[in-house]
Amino acid sequence: MKKELKILPCHIGIIMDGNGRWAQKRKLPRVFGHREGLKAVRKAVKAAKKFKIKYLTLYSFSTENWKRPEEEVNFLFKLMETRLRKEGDSLNRNNVKVEFTGRKEGLPEKLIEIMDYVRDITKNNTGLNLIFAINYGGRQEILDAIEKIVKKKKIKKVDEETFRKFLYLPDVPDVDLIIRTAGEKRISNFLIWQSVYSEFYFTDVLWPDFDEEDFYKALVSYQKRKRKFGGLIK
């Protein structure tokens, strides 16, 4: 029997790691792992809705992922195009609001069209806010924000509140919990500005095997954290 969860994160970010290793363990091409990883995405979204999480950000393609073989990169984009178009209507029916964070520059035009379509049809939904980080890098987001600020010559002083307005998604709250699968323990350029006080949960489970039970375990771990934000617990 699952214990009651009294303290829930508002915003969860997931670094979905281990697709390639999942396939290699089964002596399959890496692309099979990416296909299987989509099932885990559906399970994570379903779990987030079940536990009433308000924001879920999935690290789908980083700015560093361009270093992978061209064949694999092209496959990933084609997979995104196919699944986003099909899943978009389902997400819309389930009252999920879909957003994207990252740079559009360099992405295939077809993928951009589908991203815009899914964002548009779900924009008025009031349920889970599902964010796909595609062609996203935390350092790049900060650099892009600085460039925008520099161009706004009327700005005399920059504080945290002002700076936040120039981030990709300024209205999305900081991430409370970051989950990383496949046993790695690093942030990998994910939500750098937004994760300064995030709690971290690392699991050896490879992303394609990550399910609702694993999601629940991360939430149970979160219950035990004492979040002080630099101050003292009262």
Domain ranges for the chain: 11-223
Q: Which superfamily, per CATH, for 11-223?
A: Decaprenyl diphosphate synthase-like (3.40.1180.10)
Helices then strands, counting H and E runs in the chain, come out as: 7, 6
- Chain segment 20-55, per-residue pLDDT in tens: 999 999 999 999 999 999 999 999 999 999 999 999
Task: Tell me what the pLDDT averaged over the chain comes to.
Answer: 94
Q: Which residues are catalytic, by number?
A: 17, 65
Q: What's the whole-model pTM score?
A: 0.95
- Chain segment 132-151, per-residue pLDDT in tens: 999 999 999 999 999 999 99
- Output the DSSP codes for 114-160: HHHHHHHHHTT--S-EEEEEEEE-HHHHHHHHHHHHHH-TT-----H
Residue 2 pLDDT grade (very low, low, confident, very high; cuts 50, 70, 90): confident
Question: Is 184 strand, coil or helix?
Answer: coil
Has residue 227 got a pLDDT over 80? no
